[in-house]
A and B are shown apart, each in its own frame.
Chain A
């Protein structure tokens, strides 16, 4: 597949098919817009490139998905966060779900017919994810889940959840399930956050019955599943988010009346450095290399570049975050979490020190 030709064809298609979001910026409207974009791209085939034929894809390298993401998010047709969730949820299903289940479910995700979520973090298990305590106990042909998840993005809109549970002690005692969100015993409560968008939820599991056929992998595979999705999150997902950040930079340039060249240059240099690093990572993925701890570097660069960009926006558009009700405000506030979600900046540096610099244990 010629990547340049693919991109050119996609651009032509996007110019001929108007998918511009409407004026409503509410979360409901964002989620509806996302489904619309996914549906249109799926029907036209774009959303299916880079995914295996077995799950409704058209095959081809994963780099094609990065290009679709870059074009969609780079045109602000969809918000980068929800759009990129497909990139971690679909590979998880492809790698861990029973083949028939993946073949049945993944097309629903790719086509925007369903939104899914990830039940990983818990009130007592943030950075120390392996300490999670949501239990699943066997009962005949089923499993019974009890516990609480938190920071579950878009749970209120989701039809399914990839859920991590404890089935025995230790890292090897974590098992994953694909749970229907309409199962009796599941309660979803959106969290109020400082940026005012109720994207994150608390999800309670109270004697929720999960059929055994919904286990992802074998008992004890949950930790590996969680680790295996990081390379996707930190390659194709990051590439989309970077494309998004460039659009914000353009908007800053359009709105700033007398910006400081050094500040603009420094924010751009960070963004460019991040993009170059992410490009290297995507090329490695395309060559079939297994991505690992070195993606912690991508994560640190992304969090740093994102916060620096929004700091620059606040400095170069004085008052706009504090005094005006514009999208800059929630975006600026959301950027404060960039060094926290997806593994804190400190955890990333611990991984770099241990795994990449081979320093002895703390």
Chain B
């Protein structure tokens, strides 16, 4: 597929449809190959600001996975995509996200991610933005599951969505997701390391908030393996840890402010 740099809305919609279809049909290595055929690496080099939000948010929404973070990080380092590279993980660990379907010992056993002894420092802003979009997509998928359950599930003779305690948890979830998405938009408009760091932190935090509230709203069914929720929860915990967790990045931002002595005004009108 040839990617036109100046894509119009219609062709973008077609692309989004093709991507969604690919992600619904396959995951892992098969999806990686399907996306390669759709021109993922061309998209990444020619229109990264469109491709990264589109592809990574869809991965979250469809609950598919592919090792595309490698490509984003490699490209930002001026190297060519298609391979793998050791990626920093929370707590000073390093991991490799393989381009295989090999089973792993990761919490989300679908993801071929494993520890490696170490790696080289890399520019992380682009990768953090990509993970932020993935986390937002995952959060929206969880909210959608919980919302539908709240509408369908009847207790005490009425849908549990009619109870304010349930409504407020879902509202809180939407607030967190919308806030995180705004930080991602701002980080794209004003490319900046701190902006990308904050967007990843906001998205990680939003996903953790979404997981907590949606798990609670889903009650017993959300704790079973037959329900989809646990896949999202396990995935987001790994995505949060990759390239720095929300907690670590928040602390890092705080240290930066303390050193600087003032609060940077990012996201200008």
Contacts and interface: CB of A to CB of B under 8 A. Distances in A.
Contacts of B174: 297, 352, 356-357
Nearest to A260: B254
A360 B162 contact: yes
B162 A361 contact: yes
A314 interface: no
B258 A253 contact: yes
A265 B151 contact: no
A282 interface: yes
B252 interface: yes
A273 B205 CA distance: 11
A277 interface: yes
Interface residues of B, number: 45
Contacts of B267: 272, 275-276, 279
A271 interface: yes
Question: Most chain-B CB neighbours within 10 Å: which of A249, A253, A273, A294?
Answer: A273
B6 interface: no
A293 to B, nearest CB: 11
A253 B261 contact: yes
B25 interface: no
B7 interface: no
A250 interface: yes
Contacts of B4: none
B179 A265 contact: no
Nearest to A294: B178
Contacts of A250: 261-263
Contact of A360 (B161, B175, B205, B269): B161
Contacts of B186: 275-276, 279-280
A360 B250 contact: no
A263 B258 CA distance: 11
A271 B162 CA distance: 32
Contacts of A294: 178
A166 to B, nearest CB: 28
A354 B151 CA distance: 12
A54 to B, nearest CB: 25
Interface string A320-362: 0000000000000000000000000010111011101101111
Nearest to B170: A357
A44 B262 CA distance: 31
A321 to B, nearest CB: 20
B167 A359 contact: yes
Given A253-B257, A268-B253, A269-B202, A275 B170 contact: no
Contacts of A276: 179, 182-183, 185-186, 266-267
B82 to A, nearest CB: 33
Nearest to A74: B265
A129 interface: no
Q: Chain A contact residues: over half helix, strand or loop, or mixed?
A: helix
A297 B262 contact: no
A344 to B, nearest CB: 12
B16 to A, nearest CB: 21
B261 A254 contact: yes
B103 interface: no
Contacts of A300: 171, 175
B75 to A, nearest CB: 25
B255 A261 contact: yes
Contact of A359 (B151, B178, B249): B151
Nearest to B266: A272
B114 interface: no
Given A254-B261, A276-B185, A352-B171, A282 B269 contact: yes
B150 interface: yes
Given A268-B253, A279-B269, A360-B159, A253 B263 contact: yes
A266 B205 CA distance: 10
Contact of B179 (A246, A274, A283): A274
Contacts of A279: 182, 186, 267-269
Contact of B178 (A259, A266, A277, A350): A277
Interface string A273-310: 11111011011000000000010010011000000000
A211 B24 CA distance: 66
B179 A273 contact: yes
A144 interface: no
A3 interface: yes
B243 interface: no
A353 B269 contact: no
B257 A262 contact: no
Question: Most chain-B CB neighbours within 10 Å: which of A254, A276, A279, A354?
Answer: A276
A261 B150 CA distance: 38
Nearest to A246: B263
A280 B175 contact: no
A63 B260 CA distance: 29
Contacts of A272: 183, 198, 202, 266-267
A32 interface: no
Nearest to B199: A276
Nearest to B159: A360
Nearest to B178: A297
Contacts of B182: 273, 276-277, 279-280
Contacts of B163: 362
21 contacts: A67-B269, A70-B269, A265-B252, A268-B253, A268-B257, A268-B263, A269-B250, A273-B183, A275-B267, A276-B266, A282-B269, A297-B178, A349-B168, A349-B172, A350-B164, A356-B174, A357-B171, A359-B147, A360-B151, A360-B159, A362-B167
Nearest 7 A/B pairs, CB to CB: A265-B254, A261-B254, A264-B254, A353-B167, A265-B250, A352-B171, A276-B182
Interface of B: 147, 150-151, 159, 161-164, 167-168, 170-172, 174-175, 178-180, 182-183, 185-186, 198, 201-202, 205, 247, 249-255, 257-258, 260-263, 265-269
